[in-house]
Structure 1
Amino acid sequence: MNPVMVEYFRQKLLAWRDELLDEARATLTALQEGGNASEADIADRATSETNRSIELRTRDRARKLISKIDEALDRIEAGTYGLCEETHEPIGISRLEARPIATLSLEAQERHERMEKTHRDE
């Protein structure tokens, strides 16, 4: 992968990370402001709690995604970004475009998923 492409993915990862952090800040603000409101109706309260739980789960997934983005940025700095962790062959650009945090080539990922399915079914 040439330096221009590496920089393109670095910028893409940084923008994605910033977007997730902005959403997390907005969620935190909304939860702090909404935490003071108490609904009189039990159904409204249950709906609010369910929405809060869903939002917190979404933020937890985002937190894990931010960690994977940071790992991808570390691979860029180390010069290993875009290389499959199993085969050490280049990961296809189209795969990286679709999933910039990918660590396995498409073929390696498919093998990994087949192995998971095989062991899960046992």
Structure 2
Amino acid sequence: MLAVAVQGVIWEGTLATALNGLNGKEKFDAIVLEDDYRPSDDEEFMNPMQQAYFLKKLKNWKESVVEESRATMAQLQNDSLREPDLADRASSETDWSLELRTRDRQRKLIAKIDSAIRRLYEGEYGYCEVTGDPIALQRLEARPIATMTIEAQEKHERTERVSRDERTD
């Protein structure tokens, strides 16, 4: 059953259905999810509850990545590259390089999460960007930033591999 909260009051039935018609961010702000809610194949695909669920999942993931990124930057700022010993300095520089690569991966992941959130607000989330087919809920659970069905992703990877192999010949 669809339940919607407005100013702390939970509504069900007709009013919840009316609120369900809201667009954009306000649509998701009005939906209250039970703690144990999980999307199911038995429900209509990307119904408001599923959308709210994935929005929460994406926002929590982004928050976690941003916090890791802050910790990485704090570590980089606290560590000194002024090691008197050449071996220690080389080790520190290697650590810095690894941390910077990690930071770059985190930055790219945050951009993908932001893109998924934008697609969610625009009503495009959960649908393959190649075929337009629904992406399996299990895939979205495992990889909420997925933009293609498994089949489309595999075809894309095969095409990339063939293209890459042709360039190296």
Q: TM-score range by the shorter chain?
A: over 0.9
Shift of the alpha carbon at 1:24? 1.1
Shift of the alpha carbon at 1:38? 2.0
Share of identical aligned residues, percent? 56
Counterpart residue type for residue 42 of structure 1: L
Structure with the bigger percentage of helix? 1
Asked if 1:68 is matched to 2:68, the reply is no
TM-score by length of 1: 0.95
Q: Which has the higher contact order (CA 8 A, sep 6+)?
A: 1
- Output aligned runs, 1:10-89, within 5 Å: 10-35=55-80, 38-89=82-133
Shift of the alpha carbon at 1:14? 0.5
In 1, Cα distance between the equivalents of 2:160 and 2:75? Answer: 39
TM-score by length of 2: 0.69
Q: Deviations over 1:44-80 (max 9, x none)?
A: 1100010010000001010000000000000000001
Q: Deviations over 1:73-92 (max 9, x none)?
A: 00000001000001111000
Other-structure match for 2:53: 8
The list of structure 1 runs, each at least 4 consecutive aligned residues, that deviate by more than 6 angstroms after superposition, is none
In 1, Cα distance between the equivalents of 2:159 and 2:78? Answer: 46
Other-structure match for 1:104: 148
Structure with the bigger percentage of strand? 2
SS at match of 2:146: coil
Count of residue pairs the alignment pairs up? 121
Shift of the alpha carbon at 1:117? 1.1
In 1, Cα distance between the equivalents of 2:77 and 2:165? Answer: 44
- The gaps in structure 2 that reach 5 residues or longer are 1-45
Other-structure match for 1:114: 158
Counterpart residue type for residue 23 of structure 1: E
Q: Which has the larger radius of gyration?
A: 2
